[in-house]
Amino acid sequence: MGVAVRIKHIRRATRRTVIAGIAATLAPRAQAQQRDRMRRLGVVMAILASDPEGQARAAALVQGLGALGWKDGGNLRIDWRWAGSDLALIERYATELVALGPEVLLAGTSSVAVLALRRQTSTIPIVFANLIDPVGQGFVASLARPGGTITGFSGYDPPMASKWLGMLTQITPPVARVAVLFNPATAPYAGLLLRAIEDAAPSFMAVRAARCRDETEVETIMAGLAREERGGLLVLPHAFANVHRAAIVALAARHRLPAVYPFRFFAAIGGLMSYGFDQYDTYRRAAGYVDRILKGEKPADLPVQGPTKFELVINLKTAKALGVTVAPSLLATADEVIE
C-alpha cells in the first residue's frame, strides 16, 4: 500500500474516532435533555373541580407521579379538565385535550370519559382509573393483554354487585324490594351489574332497575319505593351518583330507605352502608402506568390491574335513625363503624 493510501486510511480512521467521541460525549447530554424536557399529560375527571373528593383523587395522582420523579410544572405539564357528569362537557374536553398533543391521556373514574377520548384518538395512549369491567365494556381484549392503546386500573366487576345486594339481606327488618339506582347516560355498563344482581337475588327479594336522569327523578323513585313494604336501595357506582351524592343520601334518609353505596364517601355523609375500593390508592397506582408509558412502554403490554384495598363502612347513627339493625356478623367485618 502506497504512502498516500495509508494517509487516506489514517484520516478516515481519525474522523471515525472523532465522530464516535463526539457521539459518546453528546449521548448522555441528549438523554438528559430528553429526560428533563417537559412532557405532557391530559386528564379528564368525571367529577367537579370544587368537589373535595375530586381534589383528593387528583392529589393522589400527583403524589404518585412525584414519587416517580415527575413534577407538575417542572418536567411534566398536567392539563386538567373537570367535567362532573356532564356528557357534553366530557366530549368537549376530550377534543380539547387531544388537540393539545399530550403523550398520555388519563380518564378518571368514568367509562364515558374513556369513550370520549377513544373517539378523538386512536394513537395517544389512554390510562383509565377505576373503570368497571373493561373487558365486558370492550375497552381491552383481555386483562392480561389489553392490546391497542388503552389500559389501566379496573374498579368493580359484576360479581361485586352481588356483594352489595347481600349486604341488604343482613339488616333487620330485611329488605324485600330493591331499586337499583343509576343514570344510564353515565353508567353504560349498568346492564352488566344488573344481571349479576338479579342472578344473586334470593327468592324473597324482588330487584328492579331504577333509571334516573336528574334529582327530580331520584325523588320520584324514592317516594314510590317508600310506599312499598320493606323497600331498599342499591346505588351503582357512576359519575351521576358521585356528583349528586348529597341529594341521594338525603332523600334516602327522608324516605327512610336503607341503602348500600359503592364508596366510603357516601357513608361518611350519612349513607347506611358502603363497600368499595380505595380510589386514592388506585390513582397513585395509575401514576405508575403514566410513568412507564412516558418512558417508552406500550399500553398493549401493560396488564389491567384490579383494586387491592377494599373497605366496608357502616353508619350506625343512620341505622338507628332508620330503625334497622345491622347483623353482628356484618358489623364484625367492617373496616369502619360510624357512631
Domain ranges of the chain: 37-155+278-308, 158-277+311-338
Q: What is the pLDDT of residues 261-311, one digit of tens each?
A: 999 999 999 999 999 999 899 999 999 999 999 999 999 999 999 998 899
pLDDT number for residue 128: 96
Q: What is the pLDDT of residues 164-196, one digit of tens each?
A: 999 999 999 989 999 999 999 999 999 999 999
Its pTM stands at: 0.84
Q: What is the pLDDT of residues 6-56, one digit of tens each?
A: 545 545 555 555 455 554 544 444 444 445 579 999 999 999 999 999 999
Q: Kindly report the three-state secondary structure assignment for every residue of the chain.
A: CCHHHHHHHHHHHHHHHHHHHHHHHHHHHHHHHHHHCCEEEEEEECCCCCCHHHHHHHHHHHHHHHHCCCCECCCEEEEEEECCCCHHHHHHHHHHHHHCCCCEEEEECCHHHHHHHHHHCCCCCEEEEEECCCCCCCCCCCCCCCCCCEEEEECCCHHHHHHHHHHHCCEECCCCEEEEEECCCCCCCHHHHHHHHHHHCCCCCEEEEEECCCHHHHHHHHHHHHCCCCEEEEECCCHHHHHCHHHHHHHHHHCCCCEEECCHHHHHCCCCEEEEECHHHHHHHHHHHHHHHHCCCCHHHCCCECCCCEEEEEEHHHHHHHCCEECHHHHHCCCEEEC
pLDDT number for residue 270: 98
pLDDT number for residue 7: 45
Domain 158-277+311-338 has CATH 3.40.50.2300: yes
- Options 3.30.429.10, 3.30.200.20, 3.40.50.10320, 3.40.50.2300; CATH for 37-155+278-308 is 3.40.50.2300
